[in-house]
Amino acid sequence: MKMSRQFFDPRFQLREHRQSHVLACILFWSVLSYVAISRVLVNGAEVQGHSMMPTLADGDRVFLNLWLYRIVDPHRGDVIALDVPGYDGASVKRVVALPGETVQVRDGAVFVNGHELDEPYLPPGIITRSGALSTNVYQVADDCYFVLGDNRDDSLDSRRFGAVSRSWIRGRVAGLGFAEFRY
């Protein structure tokens, strides 16, 4: 009994042993904190591809806010990272329509619920082609989001694979230095 108390009582420990216990504790809590932060709160990513030009360029490094969508729903205009089943890696896209809304691409523009979407983040003169949607009206299912890349001519997005399930969304892209739009 006396032996175990001596192990925990700093008066009975050698200075070197106390230092190694402190270092072991610091290492343990550092690793645990890193894992918790990178899996739950925030994570870094590198953009690969040109689908979000000019907002994000190939090779840009971004932060993903992993916890935000645990407490709030994505908003129109949010730039998100998502996993699309059947495609390699994460994709970065912009939310343009929310659950229950209708989307139509016609005359080179995106219409949500029958109103042309104001997209100030796109360069002037960008034309949005309808892709697989044709000019049909698309109804976004509950718990799904319609996403598009900002580089409309070079983006694999909801025009091709449909609205994305909320469960596919990893997090919101944050800390970019570009203007974030919310409407």
Active site residues: 51, 93
Scanning the structure block, which residue is given the tokens 């495609």? 87
Is the separation of the CB atoms in 180 and 93 below 8 Å?
no
Which contiguous run of DSSP H or E holds residue 32? helix 15-36
Closest by CA to 179, choosing from 120, 129, 123, is 120
Angstrom distance (rounded) from CA 166 to CA 152:
22
Closest by CA to 62, choosing from 142, 177, 151, 145, is 177
Degrees, nearest 5: CA angle 51-60-149: 20
Angstrom distance (rounded) from CA 63 to CA 11:
46
* Residue 143 DSSP label: T
